[in-house]
A and B are shown apart, each in its own frame.
Chain A
């Protein structure tokens, strides 16, 4: 039940943030094929949070191409004009905003959370397939591309 609630919350949060931030649309993707690696290379970003009695992290994995489109839409520029590391920074900023949104939705606005600085790393074909197969991530679709997300509360 909690997993279903978390998945619904992740869909709600990522839908709102992608739309507000970059005018991109998110929906659930229940049929993602783990063998389909045409979306690679991908980027993984993670941000952790901590309050007096709660801690955990939020993670997103998305094709580098989607991250570039996200950066283009946020900055209103063409792909060939994107500054260095724009893809990584677009994904980390999206995760940063999503984490603030998610914590407020889940725990309200009375609790004070400290967030970490989000980190990114590349994800290759083999790891992408393993992540799709691993049912700890919710599979979403951003426009025509997949996005994996995970919210973990480590109380």
Chain B
């Protein structure tokens, strides 16, 4: 089974880095979808079948926290695992993200092996 992924980050560098890390892992990735902010992320989620979301927090227009809150309001979207990839190190904020339903949190810059392991655990 292949998995469709959505990568939401305002940095093109990080979008490419996440996609590249996934492409060199042994995960079977189907389609890659990209968004530059939370609003675009929600549009992609409305338009496509997505199996897992990778999202930054700090983005213009709609940040990652607002996007995740919107996802939690819709039953279908609330079931999609979300991995937050951010520079955030505040324990309080990381705990509040997990309380919102975020399944995993990775700090930038992430180690590819750790990244792949987290994704495998979520998808299998």
Instruction: Give the interface of A toward B (CB within 8 A).
Output: 17, 20-21, 71, 74-76, 83, 85-86, 89-90, 92-93, 96-97, 99-101, 103-104, 109-113, 115, 117
Contact = CB atoms under 8 A, between A and B. Distances in A.
Contacts of A99: 87
Contacts of A71: 13
B72 to A, nearest CB: 20
Interface stretch (B40-48, B73-81, B89-97): B89-97
Contacts of A76: 20
Contact of A75 (B16, B88, B92, B109): B16
Which label, helix, strand, loop or mixed, suits the secondary structure of the A interface?
helix
A97 B88 CA distance: 9
A111 B109 CA distance: 21
Contact of A109 (B20, B86, B91): B91
Interface string B85-124: 0111111110000000000000111000000000000000
Contact of A104 (B10, B59, B89, B108): B89
A75 to B, nearest CB: 6
Contacts of B11: 89, 92-93, 96
B17 interface: yes
Given A21-B109, A96-B108, A85 B12 contact: yes
Nearest to B24: A76
Interface of B: 10-14, 16-17, 20, 58-60, 86-93, 107-109
Contacts of A93: 11, 13-14, 108
Contacts of A20: 109
B60 A90 contact: no
B111 to A, nearest CB: 8
Nearest to A21: B109
Given A71-B13, A76-B20, A117 B59 contact: yes
Contact of B58 (A83, A85, A90, A96): A96
Given A85-B12, A86-B12, A92-B11, A17 B109 contact: yes
A90 B114 CA distance: 22
A117 B13 contact: no
A100 B92 contact: no
B90 A97 contact: no
A111 B58 contact: no
Given A86-B12, A92-B11, A75 B87 contact: no
